[in-house]
């Protein structure tokens, strides 16, 4: 079995690419980083340091790479069994055109030119976007279909599975002093859950990939817990002068606020999906423990970047807040996290700069309403403003 994986960064190599290669799948990474691409072509392997209670280094084999701007990407999409991504939400739109061209080429390969294995490949290709997005693959599908001909769309409708997934693994930037461009460090915990109803053909057997017919429950569990807690830890950590997530979550006051925010978002999950309260409380404690992993240097500025995206209606601050409004639940600590986003400044992050510029010009209520799509005259926006004034 062969896979094309877009994104040879730390997440691509340390998480999805590793799971695929460990399952015996030949993985070709597609990326624009020539240093990483050339090293993968030369070595066909790379080390992954896994840190938890113990530390160990595993070698990932049976891999190679191509430049993602090369026409070879289109050829590969016409041949492989699986396409995955770990490129970030903004890059999906960029690669959508290449994916569409690959699908068109796949559709136009004459069946009389194919052997049995190739014909099977032509009949079923599954694409999985492994991003921090709600239904990210469905969003990618819409982008891809914008580039397909009528014939290409008809082929994709029958032969291409766009499979949504939920992914969870903390993969920090390279360690200080690391000279190997392929070395990557990851935490022990990983979770990759896919929507089994969206596959075309056989579902591949990949250890570490879990199938469900109720994906949204797990998408929102991760979004409302890991992502919400991670971000609020970062923003409150910045305000307290901490540099890392570990330092921040070990601050007693921050840990109390973050725990309370995750409990507020957790009540939404319990009402919406029927999660057992005791089991979800244990899940929250596991997340808090991951934040405190002594072997991961996860900087608060990395986690806090792109505040505009994170204040959008479907993301980790506003979506759980809207859930508390839907079920008439407490939300004071989620509001504190939203308020803290307005105190996050980072001159190297265009979104942070844009947020602060609009905030200075339009004020809190209009700025929050603009990005979150909340009503600027609503009580919840007024409460968020009060939380900002109290935090400031």
The annotated binding site is made up of 3-14
Nearest residue to 146 via CA among 91, 198, 96, 85 = 96
Asked if 301 and 244 touch (Cβ cutoff 8 Å), the reply is no
- Cα gap 190→208, rounded to integer Å: 8
- Cα gap 137→193, rounded to integer Å: 13
Residues making up the binding site for NAD(+): 3-14
What are the respective helix, strand and coil percentages of the chain, to the nearest 5? 55, 15, 30
| Three-state DSSP class for residue 209 | strand
- Cα gap 92→303, rounded to integer Å: 20
Find the distance separating the first CA and the last CA of the chain, reported in whole Å.
55
The token duo for 40 is 């993968």
Asked if 21 and 3 touch (Cβ cutoff 8 Å), the reply is no
């Amino acid at each position: 079995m062969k896979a094309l994986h877009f994104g040879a960064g730390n997440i691509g190599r340390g998480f999805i690419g590793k799971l695929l290669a460990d399952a015996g799948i030949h993985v070709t990474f597609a990326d624009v980083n020539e240093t990483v691409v050339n090293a993968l072509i030369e070595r066909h392997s790379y080390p992954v340091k896994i840190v938890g209670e113990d530390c160990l280094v595993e070698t990932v084999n049976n891999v190679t790479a191509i430049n993602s701007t090369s026409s070879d990407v289109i050829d590969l999409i016409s041949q492989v069994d699986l396409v995955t991504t770990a490129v970030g939400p903004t890059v999906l739109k960029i690669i959508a055109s290449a994916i569409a061209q690959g699908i068109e080429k796949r559709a136009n390969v004459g069946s009389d030119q194919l052997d049995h294995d190739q014909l099977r490949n032509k009949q079923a290709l599954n694409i999985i976007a492994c991003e921090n997005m709600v239904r990210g693959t469905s969003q990618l599908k819409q982008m891809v279909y914008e580039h397909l001909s009528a014939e290409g769309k008809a082929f994709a409708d029958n032969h291409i599975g766009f499979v949504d997934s939920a992914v969870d693994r903390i993969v920090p930037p390279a360690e200080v002093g690391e000279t190997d461009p392929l070395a990557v460090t990851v935490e022990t915990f990983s979770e990759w859950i896919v929507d089994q109803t969206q596959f075309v053909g056989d579902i591949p057997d990949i250890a570490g990939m879990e199938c469900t017919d109720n994906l949204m429950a797990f998408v929102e569990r991760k979004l409302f817990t890991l992502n919400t807690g991670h971000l609020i830890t970062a923003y409150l950590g910045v305000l307290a002068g901490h540099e890392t997530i570990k330092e921040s979550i070990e601050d007693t006051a921050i840990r109390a606020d973050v725990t309370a925010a995750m409990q507020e978002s957790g009540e939404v999950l319990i009402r919406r999906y029927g999660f057992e309260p005791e089991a979800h409380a244990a899940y929250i404690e596991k997340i808090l423990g991951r934040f405190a992993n002594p072997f991961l240097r996860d900087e608060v500025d990395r986690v806090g970047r792109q505040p505009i995206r994170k204040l959008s209606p479907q993301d980790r601050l506003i979506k759980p807040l809207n859930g508390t409004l839907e079920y008439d639940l407490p939300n004071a600590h989620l509001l504190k996290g939203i308020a803290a986003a307005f105190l996050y400044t980072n001159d190297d992050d265009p979104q942070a700069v844009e947020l602060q510029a609009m905030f200075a010009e339009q004020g809190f209520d209009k700025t929050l309403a603009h990005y979150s799509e909340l009503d600027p005259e609503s009580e919840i926006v007024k409460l968020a403003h009060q939380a900002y004034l109290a935090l400031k």
